[in-house]
Structure 1
Amino acid sequence: MADITLKGNAIQTIGNLPKIGESAPDFKLTTVELGHKGLTDFSGKNIILNIFPSVDTGTCATSVREFNKKASALENTVVLCISKDLPFAQARFCGAEGIENVEMLSDFATGSFGKDYQLEIKNGPLAHLLSRAVIIVDTNGKVIYTEQVPEIVDEPNYEKALKAL
């Protein structure tokens, strides 16, 4: 399990992120249109998984905005912003913010993404939500970068993640 903090208070995830070089586990997440998409829907592209607890918090919203800005300059790359927020909340946020360069996906229906990627929070006030992490999957479906952000209220290291591409 990963030891992380929420405003300095210790909490844990149920496990550790996938290892670099491993095949990324497939998933089935809900789109803002209430359809479903999985890893295989993005085959042949580099995939940035921007994962966070809730788009209705400041740091999570900032990460979506930042990746939205940076995604427009990336070739053959898609940014998937993943949380357990309802698709309605994700759509509302993107509409209000003019977010168009990332795809929002929700793990609300089954929670299997958080379990398969071992980043579901195990305890504390955010238990059962997703921890803040970035995982990059290459065009062959292999994990090439991971970051488990150690303090949930901190932003991920955007530059380091993008350099992995």
Structure 2
Amino acid sequence: MNLKFKGKEIKTNGNFPKVGDKLPGMQLVKTDLSELNTDELKGKKVVFNIFPSVDTAVCALQLNKFAAQLKDRSDVALVFASLDLPFAFKRFCTDEGIDNAITTSDFRHRDANKLGAVMEGGPLQGLHARGVIVTDEDLIIQYAELVEEVTDEPNYEAALAKV
């Protein structure tokens, strides 16, 4: 898939899932170093985010905005995945007072590569592009956005409308 990073065209390693697909099963590492299998999220709606790094301004904003919008929704699992180490996510969420997000690292298994959103080329080659997937309780995708310009924010309104 073709995207842009700061206006320059880049490719990804595959095709991002689309509405109607099932969220692929992935093993990700939580901040306590335990594993999250995305199949365990069944039974809740899921807002699944991938992005390059929580230590960049737009990624931090994405985590903060979704966490604020979904703070009172116990029926929704808010998940973030990147190649950041679990310690970076733990530090960020502690500093920002975020306690309703499941932040995960893809450093161990690289399972989020199944989403076809690994950037190939450009200065962030090898990291995940920015995307949002919203599923129903059966993990069937209701909304899927791979942000065309990696440095832009996702469409929060459109994603949240599908929750």
Instruction: Give the superposition deviation at 1:133.
Output: 0.2
Instruction: Give the superposition deviation at 1:25.
Output: 0.8
Moved over 2 A (4+): none
**For residue 79 of structure 1, what is the aligned residue in structure 2?**
78
**For residue 138 of structure 1, what is the aligned residue in structure 2?**
136
1:73 partner amino acid: D
1:82 partner amino acid: A
Say which SS state the counterpart of residue 37 (structure 1) adopts: strand
* RMSD value, Cα: 1.0
- TM-score with structure 2 setting the length: 0.96
Count of residue pairs brought into register by the alignment: 163
Say which SS state the counterpart of residue 119 (structure 2) adopts: coil
Say which SS state the counterpart of residue 24 (structure 2) adopts: coil
2:12 partner amino acid: T
**For residue 100 of structure 2, what is the aligned residue in structure 1?**
101
Contact kept in structure 2, 1:71 and 1:102, CA below 8 Å: no
Instruction: Give the superposition deviation at 1:110.
Output: 2.2
Task: Report Cα offsets for 1:108-138 as digits up to 9, x if no partner.
Answer: 112121x211111111111110010001111
Contact kept in structure 2, 1:71 and 1:78, CA below 8 Å: no
Structure 2: runs of 5 or more not aligned: none
Instruction: Measure the CA separation in 1 of the matches of 2:72 and 2:98.
Output: 14
**For residue 125 of structure 2, what is the aligned residue in structure 1?**
127
Instruction: Measure the CA separation in 2 of the matches of 1:145 and 1:68.
Output: 18
1:118 partner amino acid: G
- TM-score with structure 1 setting the length: 0.95
User: Identity of counterpart residues, as a percentage?
Assistant: 37
Instruction: Give the superposition deviation at 1:75.
Output: 4.7
